[in-house]
Amino acid sequence: MKKTRKIDISRRNFMKGMALATGAGVLAGCAPKLVETAQPASTAEEVAAVQDWLGKEPVIDDISETIESDVIVIGAGTGGAYAAASCLEKGLKVVILEKNATVSTLRNDWGAVDSKWQLEEGVKLDRAAILHYHQMYCANRIDSRLPKIWLKESAAAINWIGELLISRGARFYYEGGYEPDFSPATYPKFPTGHSGDFDEGVTGASIMQGYIEELGGKYYFETPFIKFEHEGKKVTAAIAQNKEGKYLRFVGKKGIVLATGGYQGNPEMLNALMPHDVMIMAKPSPGPNTGDGIKACLWMGAAMDEVHTSMIFDRMGLLPNETPATMTKPTLFWWGSQPWLKVNLLGERFTNESIPYDFIVHAAAKQPGKCYVCVFDSDYFNQIQQFQTVGCSRIFPFPNGSPNDRTGTDMAVIEQRANESVKGWLESGHLQQADTFEELARKLNIPETTFAATVARYNELADKGVDEDFYKDSYRLLPLKKPPYYGIRCTGMILSTMDGIRIDTQMRPLDSENVPFEGLHVVGDSSGGYFAHTYPNLFTGYCNGRNTTYCRRVARILAGEPVELPEE
């Protein structure tokens, strides 16, 4: 009865949000729909579809086989690879469950503080400033002890993954050469990022799989995880189903690590839990990350973050007559994070464009059509260089000479690819080109006169070097004076969800009273307590750096080694 009561409490908490969701214009069923204006679910079936994303814990009695190992890792993606390899290095036997037929990608940006590469360049980051800004991004709706673990332990974790990849023929770079700017005119960028570079045909995921198999790790592919078995707060086994349809019980004598990711591939969950984000991004579609691990934890009484948050990039282009609610053929517009002039569908500027990725998308939620137009001129190649963005939005080498992880360091090649990108977006009909701003407005279906006046005002401010309207960084306040001009309607794209199961500093899931479950550790996007409202993308590689750090910590715990508490 206690277990059922906990689940009911969790469901009631979620149901409070469902009333808001149905009033916010979200209809969720097997094929989720987005609507332009507020429109509640109109039938009992539609309301039930929104509310029933959690479902009921399946009852499974016919277990065909019980498999034991020291550690069971659920999920063979990024976090699963780190956890499995780290446990194997400790001499623990590891079994890895994966519902897909192969391993997935390995995230390719790692954030750290005081890594060997940072120290070699004399970089010493202010940990207090990092924690303070993290808390501000999240409105402090987090457990501040969790980022302190990353602050203290990320150096060792990223040293480990970097040295491992290098030993296997990859290249590893520190994306540095700049300092945080704490002036009031900007959002500070923290040089925390590291990235890997691989030979053709080689990936980080393939390197990690080979390493894990060499250490004796055993994969069970096409074996989706279903649920946990537990005795009160003690998790005793994981139940999975093989491709023949048989149910298998996996027992971790030392423990189980859950690394199944978030739920960005589950449109039903997205529509139910974060309608505020769904309405400003490309329509959610099914994918491998479907919240299976999160739901299994909730079924046994664990608690989830109350603030449902996704990592949204401002890099989805729309056709010039479409909005997020009507889109039929969005395209990846990787330049979306470049801080050019951006206007609403009335042709008006509405915010500072030199802001973290999803801030512009959030602001657009208050604008007509819940989208906006990005505008640039033919000097785009030089302007992108002057913008000096960081992380994955950067298409040029970093100030310390390290390449970004997409285009390398050859400037001629980078410019060629940039021009090819423009050509491709024009040919697809998403990007529009014109010799005058009035003509460009007509092609984008926005008011000509208003848009032309907006550009004139923007150019006036650029000539002054001071943004009197929204206080944009002066070095990014660049005029639009070189025709032809370009414009593209934009909205958000989801990279991952970041609200997960609440955990303690040993990565154990917690119930609503902060009582931990034993025998289970939750890492990566399945875990919560770390992010809220937004992702602080100006801390490059933060999410993956945290994931690597936590997996290394969990391995020490499972091996019986002492771990330092964040407050020590």
User: What is the pTM assigned to this prediction?
Assistant: 0.91
In a domain, 486, yes or no: yes
Query: Does residue 325 lie within any of the structural domains?
Result: yes
Number of domains in the chain: 1
**Which pLDDT belongs to residue 567?**
67
In a domain, 556, yes or no: no
> What is the enclosing helix (H) or strand (E) of 26?
strand 26-27
Residue 283 lies in a domain: no
| Bridge-based pairing state of the strands 341-343 and 109-111 | unpaired
Here the CATH number for the domain that contains residue 377 is 3.90.700.10
**Which residues, in sequence order, are CB contacts of 13 under 8 Å at separation 6+?**
306
163 domain-assigned: no
Q: What single string gives the DSSP state of each residue in 194-246?
A: EEEE--TT--HHHHHHHHHHHTT-EEE-S--EEEEEEETTEEEEEEEE-TTS-
CA dist 171 and 164 (Å) reads 10
Asked whether residue 507 is domain-assigned, the answer is no
The dihedrals phi and psi of 278, each to the nearest 5 degrees, come to -60, -35
Closest CA to 341 of 451, 233, 228: 451
Other CB atoms within 10 Å distance of the CB of residue 197: 18
> For residue 296, what are its two tokens?
């299994």
Inside any domain, residue 345: yes
Residue 361 lies in a domain: yes
Expressed as residue numbers, the domain containing 450 is 311-494
Tens-of-pLDDT digits for all 568 residues of the chain?
333 333 333 333 333 333 323 222 222 222 233 323 333 343 455 445 556 899 999 999 999 999 999 999 999 999 999 999 999 999 999 999 999 999 988 999 999 999 999 999 999 999 999 999 999 999 999 999 999 999 999 999 999 999 999 999 999 999 999 999 999 889 999 999 999 999 999 999 999 999 999 999 999 999 999 999 999 999 999 999 999 999 999 999 999 999 999 999 999 999 999 999 999 999 887 889 999 999 999 999 999 999 999 999 999 999 999 999 999 999 999 999 999 999 999 999 999 999 999 999 999 999 999 999 999 999 999 999 999 999 999 999 999 999 986 678 899 999 999 999 999 999 999 999 999 999 999 999 999 999 999 999 999 999 999 999 999 999 999 999 999 999 999 999 999 999 999 999 999 999 999 999 999 999 999 999 999 999 999 999 999 999 999 999 999 999 999 998 876 5
Single-letter code of the amino acid located at 19 = A
